[in-house]
Chain A
């Protein structure tokens, strides 16, 4: 059974640019959630996708958007990057309301 994978591992972007982060969910998991984790803080919920539809959203502006594909993999897109977007971006897949399984994350640095 393959776990959750994310790419890339690290990314450096300039303010104003756009970025796409990718996530492959654990086999059979139809729900993917994205989180932003600043240093020393807990993960902050960005949004969740269930069977290719956005299924809930946290307090993030519309420049944070996403997609989920038929194989349940997912993308997080961030437009007009700001310095405060520098963080660890985590995706987590799940099958039910209990456990979420996190990928290793993408460390985004905005300069």
Chain B
């Protein structure tokens, strides 16, 4: 089987830095993605890591360690609009397609 674990809720203040961790167990691992979802909205793609290391996109960075089955999303210079749920998702290579498994999400509360 497969499982993903991420904290259910994180609170931080505006301007701070927050790290959301994700550990996973799956066979045929292909890559780790991160998505943001505001209440009532659709998930929005943030980043994708297929190789070990850090990927940076503006205020957001994502890290992957395949040997540790671990990744994290780093949000810098937090803004109120960053309050949302963040999901890590593992893509698992099966034959000729990728099957995606999502974690249960981390609710980020940004306070002034």
Contact = CB atoms under 8 A, between A and B. Distances in A.
Contacts of A97: 30-31, 50, 91, 98
Contacts of A102: 35, 42-45
B42 A104 contact: yes
B42 A105 contact: yes
A103 B42 contact: yes
A89 B109 CA distance: 25
A58 B94 CA distance: 12
Contact of B100 (A41, A45, A103): A45
B100 A99 contact: no
What DSSP secondary structure best describes chain B's contact surface?
strand
Interface string A5-30: 00000000000000000000000000
A27 B34 CA distance: 22
Contacts, number: 59
B25 to A, nearest CB: 15
A58 B105 CA distance: 19
Contact of A55 (B41, B45, B89, B96): B96
A58 B89 CA distance: 14
Interface string B75-112: 00000000000010101001111111111110000000
Contacts of B50: 97-98
Given A50-B97, A56-B97, A56-B99, A99 B45 contact: yes
B87 A55 contact: no
Contacts of A50: 97
Contact of B99 (A40, A58, A101): A58
A40 B37 CA distance: 11
A90 interface: yes
A103 B42 CA distance: 6
Nearest to A44: B102
A45 B33 contact: no
Interface of B: 30-31, 33, 35, 41-45, 48, 50, 87, 89, 91, 94-105
